[in-house]
A and B are shown apart, each in its own frame.
Chain A
Amino acid sequence: MTASGTLLGDGRVLGGRAMLRSARNPATILGAVLFPILFFVLFNLVMRRIMEARGFDYAQLLPPTIVVQAMFFTAMSSAYYVADDRRSGIIARFRSLPIHRSAPLIGRSLGDLSRATVSAVVITALGIATGMRFERGWVWALAYLGLALLFALAVSLGMGLIGYAAPTPEAAASIASTPYLPLIMLSSGFAPVEDFPDWLEPIVRYQPVSVTIDALRATAGTGDLGDTVPLALAWCVGLIIVFAALGSRALERAA
């Protein structure tokens, strides 16, 4: 008999708990599905004709942006959930159990990814309904979904850190709702990178949100795969490694 449970076994049990908890919380469904749909509809109404007049294929360009935005929305709940688990003391109780040390982190990530999957699939379906096409075939369509989820995982792990640092769940939620706005506004998501001031352009071009949106567009057929996908993978995997390491450490200390 081992002293501790297995990472995957315990992680799966805690993942089930995280999913149940999300499913029962109407606010997370709002964040994961309704808000992104609202943004999608509004941007189509306001921007589609302007962008098409400039020669852009907006049906291809917008859905990846909204998917990335949706990944932010789904990840924000993670900050709240972590802080809520600290307040209720359940995180300390998990730590007093003979489970794998990192199982709570895995469990939470599974919950986050389940919300992200629902959200990404819904937005993508909406995109297809308004004219988006996966021009490189279904394998690259799966890569599109995979990359979106990888990005979601990176952001969720980052949001989790806010949950460990914030004094209350409410504070965590409001802090978590701020980084997405500058990151997505100063990205290739809503306006072409060339439209930004010269001094800002390199930052806009290479920050992780732009890089991920560009790679998603490329997997759907717009843009070069080799120029975008490796860079996006490097950003996402790098952030996941750093945030997961910091998250494990924070978990060790949470009492």
Chain B
Amino acid sequence: MGVSGIQVSGLVKRFGETTALAGVTFEAARGEVLGLLGPNGAGKTTTVNVLSTLLRPDAGSATVDGHDVVTEPAEVRRSIALTGQFAALDEALTGVENLALFGRLRGLSGSAARARADELLERFDLVEAADGRVSSYSGGMRRRLDLAASLVDDVPILFLDEPTTGLDPRSRATLWDMVRDLQAEGRTIILTTQYLEEADQLADRIVLIDNGKVVVEGTPSDLKRSAGGQSCVVQPVDPGRLDEVAKLLDDRGPLSVEHDLGTVTIPDTEAADLSAILQRLGQAGIEVADLSLRRPTLDDVFLDLTGDST
């Protein structure tokens, strides 16, 4: 089998003093949705720009659909479509004119480009807006048209750079559905995002990057597992008795006491342990306001590994 999908090896990219990519390595198999997750400034856009031949790396290499991004950029461009971080459309043109323009540039004839544009407008729920200028579009409509513009030709590989940043929840959900459809059609998709939930929802695998380096990679469930098992959060009615609670339970592992929340968190707890915990607290006369099991979220992984406080 030939090389396909995407292979990235040791990519380095500097902008003057800033090292945007400090040796990024990952792979995306054909047909896979790879979530490139990271906080602002992590190097997501730079990675996508190198893979879509807009930037030359300072070191390292990458192949996209079997073609080297540095030595065979023209072949790479045939296989990819890029939906950038900001909708890249001509504001003065209408929706249908924008799509027809990109169709022509991808080598379709005038009538074929027009027909394809109509099809895409239908699919992306933009038929009514088709003849309005893009400058009058809402953020969600722009994003949909932007995505449609990447589909005028049937390319196997899509780059979606923060496709839902700045969208309201409803437009975001619509866009998620569209990405799922594209995945079902068998395309390889690199999707960058700052939102863990988004990566969790859409990606087969996640590559977490921070400061230009891959911090961890794996499936969403792998990553959650790496953040440890579920924990139990106890909140006594009287916050003054927090230390007493901690003392009573300290044989259960390293507890964390959050005075400002008025809670004690017990690691690695199963549902079966809960009654024993309640019983012990009851015997000591401590009234419990809230007792809950908490599953680790991708946020825990993210915050753990990026040291980001947001």
Which residues of A are interface residues toward B (Cβ below 8 A)?
A: 3-5, 10, 13-14, 17, 20-21, 24-25, 88-90, 92-99, 255
Contact = CB atoms under 8 A, between A and B. Distances in A.
B105 A5 contact: yes
B107 A92 contact: no
Given A96-B77, A98-B77, 13 more contacts: A3-B77, A3-B78, A13-B105, A14-B105, A20-B92, A20-B93, A88-B87, A92-B84, A96-B54, A96-B80, A96-B82, A97-B77, A255-B55
B52 A90 contact: no
A250 to B, nearest CB: 14
15 contacts: A3-B74, A5-B107, A13-B101, A14-B105, A21-B90, A21-B93, A88-B86, A89-B84, A90-B89, A92-B49, A95-B54, A96-B54, A96-B82, A98-B107, A255-B54
Contacts of B86: 88-89
Contacts of A92: 49, 54, 82, 84, 88
Contacts of B75: 3
Contacts of A90: 88-90
Interface string B54-91: 11000000000000000000110110111011111111
Interface size, B (range): 20 to 34
Contact of B82 (A3, A14, A20, A93): A93
A98 B90 contact: no
Contacts of B104: 13
A255 B49 contact: yes
A21 B74 contact: no
A1 to B, nearest CB: 9
Nearest to A3: B74
A30 to B, nearest CB: 16
A4 B76 CA distance: 10
Contacts of B106: 97-98
Contacts of A96: 52-54, 77, 80-82
Contacts, number: 71
Given A3-B74, A24-B92, A88-B86, A94 B105 contact: yes
B97 interface: yes
Contacts of A98: 74, 77-78, 106-107
Contacts of A89: 84-88
Closest 5 CB pairs of A and B: A3-B74, A89-B88, A93-B88, A96-B82, A98-B77
Given A3-B74, A255-B49, A88 B90 contact: yes
Interface in B131-148: 133
A99 B87 CA distance: 20
B302 interface: no
A97 B97 CA distance: 17
A200 to B, nearest CB: 41
A172 to B, nearest CB: 16
Nearest to A99: B105
A17 B75 CA distance: 25
A99 B101 CA distance: 12
B28 to A, nearest CB: 18
A17 B91 CA distance: 11
Nearest to B83: A93
Nearest to B51: A96
A94 to B, nearest CB: 7
A20 B74 CA distance: 28
A93 B105 CA distance: 11
Nearest to B53: A96
B93 A17 contact: yes
B89 A21 contact: no
B13 to A, nearest CB: 11
A21 B90 CA distance: 8
A255 B53 CA distance: 10
Contacts of A97: 77, 102, 105-106
Give the residue among B85, B92, B106, B149 with the most A Cβ atoms within 10 A.
B92
A10 B107 CA distance: 9
A13 B97 CA distance: 12
Contacts of B82: 92-93, 96
B63 to A, nearest CB: 15
Contacts of B90: 17, 21, 88, 90
Contacts of B93: 17, 20-21
B69 to A, nearest CB: 11
Nearest to B104: A13
Interface string B257-280: 000000000000000000000000
A97 to B, nearest CB: 5
Nearest to B48: A96
A120 to B, nearest CB: 24
A91 to B, nearest CB: 8
Nearest to A6: B107
A21 B92 CA distance: 6
